[in-house]
Structure formats: structure tokens, C-alpha cells
Structure 1
Amino acid sequence: MKTILSKTIVFLTGAFVSHTGWKNWKNFFESQGYTCIVEPWPEKSGTPQYLRAKQPHDTALAGLHYADVLDHYTNIIKGLPEKPILIGHSLGGLTAQILLQRGLGQAAIAVHSVPPQGVTSFEFSFIRSLWKPLGLFSSLRKTHLMSFSEWQYAFTNGMSLQEQKESYEENTIPESRRVLRDPLGKIGHIDFSTAHAPLLFISGSADHIMPASLNYKNYMRYKKGNPHSVTEYKEFEGRNHYVLGLPTWREEASYALEFINKY
């Protein structure tokens, strides 16, 4: 019996980037008959260029907590006529996991997801990518904007210089360090033993900031915690963290659609 009956998708954006990065996936799923909702985080309305111009003294964004992001999406979902499918990238992937645990989705797809509390990696690329953004010795009163070199390493490794420059200009926005640090604590906790709606993890073998091995570890915690719930994992070869904007984006989107149709 099919359990995923929703025709509504809520896309959950990650850190450092504009919500406009979902445009390809939004158009794809709308062509398949879905109603797609793509909303920015609180304090992130506006173009990347506008938001970057406020760096680093955007006190409203600097004061944003991850709980505010979760509450924002919760309010959107509770205002819908049906429980949606949740699709999140990076920190949006963790948001999908948490909202699914709270019973707010018929299914969730976590794309190159940030892991929950207690699931971590000691891979060099993971540590190098997050050291500056987390800024453990930096002020929480200022936002963090990834430098171009940080963007090259963490998001767009393997791409041409021109592609990296264009993607940086089109996508990067300042980030609240509070939002980045909060999931390390209680708010990022997942009870892996709790039954959940169908959940798919998608990873990429070339992702520096959220390595495939970390996504697989995240997936396995669910499989071991509750083997009776539907949890699947798919790794795509050669994909970096800019997966939503790569020329191959349709392969991941199509795989996500297949998962939804299967259940």
C-alpha cells in the first residue's frame, strides 16, 4: 500500500546559500504535478548581492538561531492543507530529519545532509571546510560570509574557475554562526530508535564539506536504530556539495522522484 500520497513539497535550504538554488528542482517537480514551496530563512529575504552588502554587520541575521529556522518551516508546514514531502540540502537535510521526527512530513529526502548531534567525521576535508564558518573563537555578533577560496574548497571543488566564480556570485550569502553551532547541541538530536516515515539519503563521492562517508554513517544510525522504518541511501559518483546546481542535478532529482513513487 502506497504511503506517500502528498503532492506538496517543501524545500529546505541549507546554510551559506540562497534559497534560489532550488530553482531546477522546483521546476522539475512542478512539471510532475507537485506544488512546490521554496521559502528563504528568516532574515534572508532578498538577493545574494543585497544580503552580501550587509556583511558582516547584519545584527538581525547574526542573532538568528537554528530553532528560529525550525520554527519558521514548522509554521509554513502547519499552514498547508496536507502534510508535505520534505526535501533538504546540507543543513536543510538535517532540518528535514528533525521535522520528519516531529511528524511533519510524509517522507523526507536529505541531500548531502548535515548530520545530527553525535554523528561526526574526522575526515580532513570536513574539518577544513567547517573550521572558519563555525568560528569557535569568533564573535557571534557578526555573520560569516564564505570567502571565494572557502567556497571553492567546500562547495565547488572540481569545477572550472569560471563556474566557481559564477556560482559564488549567484548563490553565496552571509550566515549566522549561531545557526551553525546550534545543531551541535540538543536541538540537533535525533532519536534513531523512533519509527519514521520513508527517508532517503543522497550523497556525493566528491563532497568535501559533507563527505559521503558521513552521510552513510548518518544513514546507518537510522538502519540500526529502527530497521523496520524505510531508510535508503544512494551515493552519486563525482558530485560535490554544489550538487543542486551541477549539470547532473536532474539525476538526483529523478532518483528522489523514484523514491517518492515507490512508497
Structure 2
Amino acid sequence: MKRHVVFIHGLWIHSASWAPWQEHFEKEGYETSAPGWPGDAETAPATREDSTGMAGVGVDRITDAYTDVLAALGAPPVVVGHSFGGLIAQKLLERGHATAAAAISPAPIKGIRVLPLSLLRSSFPVLSDPRNKQRTVALTEKQFAYSFGNALPRAESAELYERFAIPGPGRPLFEASSANFTRRAPTSVDTHRDDRGPLLLVAAGKDHTVPAVVVRAAHQLYAPSAADTELVEYPERGHSAPFDQGWRTLADAALDWLTRRGL
């Protein structure tokens, strides 16, 4: 029986961005799927045309949707997530719904207190207006270039924006920004569990949206756990790392990590 890998996209990026990973993993013998968030359409253009179904969708609803996806597979899969998808992957692993997880530039879980300026700037298009908690918000090409494409040639950033950028719900950013002041924050993860599966945290050194210091802080939160937690950093990569021209480097590293753990 082939092991299944579920890919989870992040805020502002369509699940079609995982297509190269799916093809690559399937050639290595895995089964794969990349379901969208609640309210996503089948394609990026269709989602841009009508994103109202995502309005007000938060971390709990997204996590519940993927919990249902994983339960339907019959056996806990591996999950690979980017940005908020990386946060969701950690929640699914901690709850026992996944056998292992790789979180690439994961959005901050509760307990992370570092707050780099670039993270604030990347979040500003949403957090600048409290009404965005119940709305979807789209990035301009210029905002995308700062948040995702800052480590790329401008032409490549513009191409990725055209191919994969979609509006995203504002609620997850509000939930993440207030997590340390919220008793039962949706971004909470039990980082002390010893009985979960392996976790790979991937940081990008030039990432403006989730700077590497944020991912390192997440790794420190897992330090009390006896469970397997590994941190890898790519100093020259930005937030677009999973879907820009250098995606294969991260995909091969994830495959190697799974192989070393017998998965």
C-alpha cells in the first residue's frame, strides 16, 4: 500500500502551486493530494473571480476541513504545509491525524513572541482594517513581491503572482496576531507531546512573511518534547521557496527526510 502525502497551501496561494511536488512524489512511489481551503475554487483564476466562500474562514475551520480529508484516507498520511498550511500541518500532527509533518515557513503558533518588522509589514494589508477579519483580502503584485518574491527576480515574482496568487481570508492573521493574549487560541499546538510523529521545520533566511527567526522560535518551543523535531534553514530563499524555480531543492530534502525515517 502506497503512503499518502497531503499538501496544504498557505494564505494567498492556490493549491495548484503543489502540482510539481505531487508529480515528483508520485514518481517516488507516493500517492498525493492537495485539497484547497474551505471556499477555494478549483483554479486560481476562478478563486480570484469569486472568493466570497472564504470570508470569515479561520484556523479552526481549516483544520477541521483537513481533519475530514485525512480521516477519509483510512490511515494517517504525511502532511506537508506551507505558511498557514505549515501551522495546520503541526495541528494535525499533534492531534494524531498525521504520521509525520513537514512545515515550510510555518505561520507562528501560539507562544512565539518574536515579531520582526517584515512580518508586520507583510500582515499590514489585512491587519490595518479590523473589518478584514470577516472579509477576504487580495495582495497587489507589489505587496506579493515584498511578502513572497523578495528573493526572486521581479519577473519571476510577477509570473508566480499571476499563476498562483488568490485572495485569502483575513481571520487567520487576526487569530495569529492575538494568540498570546487568547486563552484558547486557534493557533495553539501542544509542543510538549512525546507521542507524536516526526516533524520537519523549514526556514527561509530571506523570508519576509515568516522570517527564519520565527521558525527557530517554533523549534525552541518543541525542545521539551522527546519526539523527533528537525530544523533546516535555507539562507538565500524567501517565502516563495516551495513554488518558485528552486522548489525541487525543498522537495528532495523532504523526500530524503521521509526516507531517513522509514516513511
> 1: distance between equivalents of 2:218 and 2:158?
32
Q: Which structure ranks higher in relative contact order (CA pairs < 8 Å, sequence separation ≥ 6)? A: 1
After TM superposition, give the deviation of residue 217 of structure 1 in Å.
Answer: 0.8
After TM superposition, give the deviation of residue 6 of structure 1 in Å.
Answer: 6.8
1:156 equivalent to 2:154? Answer: no
Alignment of 1:44-63 (within 5 A): 44-54=40-50, 58=52, 60-63=53-56
| Amino acid in the other structure paired with 1:151 | F
Query: 1:98 aligned to 86, 91, 96, which one?
Result: 91
Aligned to 2:76: 83
Aligned to 2:191: 192
Query: Is the 1:6–1:84 contact (alpha carbons within 8 Å) kept by the matching residues of 2?
Result: no
| Amino acid in the other structure paired with 2:248 | R
Seen in structure 2, the aligned counterparts of structure 1 residues 101 and 136 have a Cα distance that, compared at 3 Å, is farther
Alignment of 1:237-256 (within 5 A): 237-256=235-254
Aligned to 2:208: 208
| Amino acid in the other structure paired with 2:258 | I
1:12 equivalent to 2:8? Answer: yes
Alignment of 1:18-37 (within 5 A): 18-37=14-33
Seen in structure 2, the aligned counterparts of structure 1 residues 87 and 167 have a Cα distance that, compared at 3 Å, is same
| Amino acid in the other structure paired with 2:64 | D
> 2: distance between equivalents of 1:139 and 1:115?
19
Aligned to 2:36, what secondary structure does the other structure show? coil
Which whole-Å deviations, capped at 9, do the CAs of 1:45-93 have from their partners, x for residues lacking one?
A: 23222222236xx2x3213222211111000111112210011000000
Query: Is the 1:6–1:106 contact (alpha carbons within 8 Å) kept by the matching residues of 2?
Result: no
Residue identity (%)? 28
Query: 1:123 aligned to 94, 116, 122, which one?
Result: 116
5+ residue gaps in structure 1? Answer: none
| Amino acid in the other structure paired with 2:87 | L
> 1: distance between equivalents of 2:128 and 2:2?
40
Which whole-Å deviations, capped at 9, do the CAs of 1:152-198 have from their partners, x for residues lacking one?
A: 10000032222121111111111111233234351111122111211
> 1: distance between equivalents of 2:86 and 2:132?
26
Aligned to 2:124, what secondary structure does the other structure show? helix
Which whole-Å deviations, capped at 9, do the CAs of 1:186-212 have from their partners, x for residues lacking one?
A: 111112211121101111111111011
Query: Is the 1:10–1:84 contact (alpha carbons within 8 Å) kept by the matching residues of 2?
Result: yes
1:72 equivalent to 2:62? Answer: no
Which whole-Å deviations, capped at 9, do the CAs of 1:120-141 have from their partners, x for residues lacking one?
A: 4322111111122234533434
> 1: distance between equivalents of 2:140 and 2:62?
24
5+ residue gaps in structure 2? Answer: none
After TM superposition, give the deviation of residue 42 of structure 1 in Å.
Answer: 1.2
Query: Is the 1:153–1:208 contact (alpha carbons within 8 Å) kept by the matching residues of 2?
Result: yes
Aligned to 1:230: 228
> 1: distance between equivalents of 2:134 and 2:213?
33
Q: TM-score, normalised by structure 2?
A: 0.91
Query: Is the 2:151–2:237 contact (alpha carbons within 8 Å) kept by the matching residues of 1?
Result: no
Query: Is the 2:2–2:29 contact (alpha carbons within 8 Å) kept by the matching residues of 1?
Result: no
Seen in structure 2, the aligned counterparts of structure 1 residues 139 and 246 have a Cα distance that, compared at 3 Å, is closer
Query: Is the 1:43–1:61 contact (alpha carbons within 8 Å) kept by the matching residues of 2?
Result: yes
Aligned to 1:245, what secondary structure does the other structure show? coil
1:107 equivalent to 2:100? Answer: yes
Q: How many residues align?
A: 254
Query: After the TM superposition, which of the residue ranges 97-106 and 64-73 deviates more from structure 2?
Result: 64-73
